[in-house]
Amino acid sequence: MSAQRRKLMRVLEGETVSPPPIWLMRQAGRYLPEYRATRAEAGSFLDLCYSPSFATEVTLQPIRRYGFDAAILFSDILVIPDALDRNVRFEEGHGPRLEPIDAIGIAALDPEPVAERLTKVIEAVASIRAALPQETALIGFCGAPWTVATYMIAGHGTPDQAPARLFAYREPQAFQRLIDLLADLSAEYLVAQIDAGAEVVQIFDSWAGVLGENEFERYAARPVRRIVDSVRSQRPQAKVIAFAKGAGLLLKTYRQATNADAIGLDWTVPLSVARELQKDGPVQGNLDPLRVVAGGEALDEGIDAILEALGQGPLIFNLGHGITPQAKPEHVSQLVARVRGAR
């Protein structure tokens, strides 16, 4: 089967496919016992990300178990800051920690070694593509410049990313330099993933929702457009999904502003709004991840509402954010069966 006829690719080309293709953000993760076993064997989280064999194994685990229509590279949005020597580490119970950066540190960033330091991730992409079933699409990804920058400025995640927002107001030139550097490095990184076998790439802007209108255009939409334009100029065949979590009404122009093939929707986007956005092209989403935790009737009702509202247009069925560690594997089986038509 050619990549062009994979279900995910057909939807990204604007086709309505029934039942729609399905994959889940964080589908390889802590809710799966096989992932936890591999994670324990690998050592640190970054060791897992940087080992082609371990990254391949955990990427394939949900495909073996559920037969999703797409696999997504197992990695992390912070591998680029790690390659920039920002001392990225993951502390149990606290999430990512980095060395916070200031204007002087931004000016001193050296992008030269980044591509070489990420070669193991690219090796994993090639290994995953070789091991996947022919009918399964492979998605590569990166973090959006705004979201990655928020972690680099604060050194960790915060509830409203106030440190990065304040830095952008006080040091706009330095912050713009950081955003532009991250956009250019991200584009190179995505092109390398595409060359290794990814047909689709997703740009995750997990913290887009904390920005005001002007800042959203400057630090979220415009940098993603810079990435998309760069990737398209080098690899015209690649498809791009842009996911701006929490963007709300700003999603009305996000597809046009970024030139993405599809836009991901979080669970707070009303289905009536999602239907309007779908008139302009494919949408992805947007089941509340907590419905997967709940299972049962709550899960079925959420799935059915999305299929009823969006199933007559180009839809990639997904969650509105990543699957949580509390989700039960059998609830994911319920989800897949429901989407694919089992009653």
Q: What domains can be seen in the chain, in order of their start residue?
A: 3-339 (3.20.20.210)
In the structure encoding, which two tokens stand for residue 317, read together? 């069925």
pLDDT of residue 324: 96
pLDDT of residue 314: 98
Torsion of CA 291, 296, 302, 306, to 10 degrees: 120
Q: pLDDT in tens for each of the 343 residues of the chain? A: 454 479 999 999 999 999 999 999 999 999 999 999 999 999 889 999 999 999 999 999 999 999 999 999 999 999 999 999 999 999 777 789 999 999 999 999 999 999 999 999 999 999 999 999 999 999 999 999 999 999 999 999 898 999 999 999 999 999 999 999 999 999 999 999 999 999 999 999 999 999 999 999 999 999 999 999 999 999 999 999 999 999 999 999 999 999 999 999 999 999 999 999 999 999 999 999 999 999 999 999 999 999 999 999 999 999 999 999 999 999 999 999 999 995 4
Tell me the chain's radius of gyration from C-alpha atoms.
19
Contacts of range 295-299, beta carbons closer than 8 Å, 24 or more positions apart: 295/328, 295/330, 295/331, 295/334, 299/331, 299/334, 299/335, 299/338
Burial of 45 (0-12, 13-18, 19+ CB in 10 A): middle
Predicted TM-score (pTM) of this structure: 0.96
Residues labelled catalytic:
26, 30, 39, 76, 151
The total of other beta-carbon atoms located within 10 Å of residue 41's CB is 12
In the structure encoding, which two tokens stand for residue 151, read together? 């972690």
Of 332, 316, 287, 306, the closest CA to residue 28 belongs to 332
Q: Degrees (nearest 5) of the Cα angle 109, 146, 316? A: 130
Side-chain-side CA neighbours of 244 within 13 Å: the count stands at 29
Main-chain dihedrals φ then ψ at residue 315, nearest 5 degrees: -135, 135
